Amino acid sequence: QQQVKQSPQSLIVQKGGISIINCAYENTAFDYFPWYQQFPGKGPALLIAIRPDVSEKKEGRFTISFNKSAKQFSLHIMDSQPGDSATYFCAASGPPGGKLIFGQGTTLQVKP
């Protein structure tokens, strides 16, 4: 019940295309869902996050869509750029916080 399942494992997108990564969770106590971006040799960087009272959140080219009834959430990267090539992790957390459960990660390659 603590797992977060992420798909696909890898993704290749052409420059300018839309990258979509999906995650699913089981624990209904989760109330915070962030996405992280990680480049080789770096720590994960917080990209965008959402709480279950909102169905969509957009920050620049990054959008989270959240479906509470299906217990799924996804990251959309619009106008994907080669600089977006990285590993993306979804995660979930619940009270009292401080513990993130991560998906297995998606390696995104954006081809020029």
Partner 1 sequence: KAGVTQTPRYLIKTRGQQVTLSCSPISGHRSVSWYQQTPGQGLQFLFEYFSETQRNKGNFPGRFSGRQFSNSRSEMNVSTLELGDSALYLCASSPQGRVSYEQYFGPGTRLTVT
Nearest approach, Cβ of 44 to partner 1 (angstroms)? 5
Interface with partner 1 (CB under 8 A), residue from 1, 42, 53, 83: 42
Rounded alpha-carbon distances, angstroms, from residue 52 to 30, 56, 71, 91, 111:
9, 9, 10, 13, 33
Interface with partner 1 (CB under 8 A), residue from 5, 15, 99, 111: 99
Q: In terms of CB distance, is 80 or 88 closer to partner 1?
A: 88
Q: How far apart are CA 62 and CA 96, in angstroms?
A: 27
Q: How far apart are CA 50 and CA 66, in angstroms?
A: 8
Nearest approach, Cβ of 46 to partner 1 (angstroms)? 6
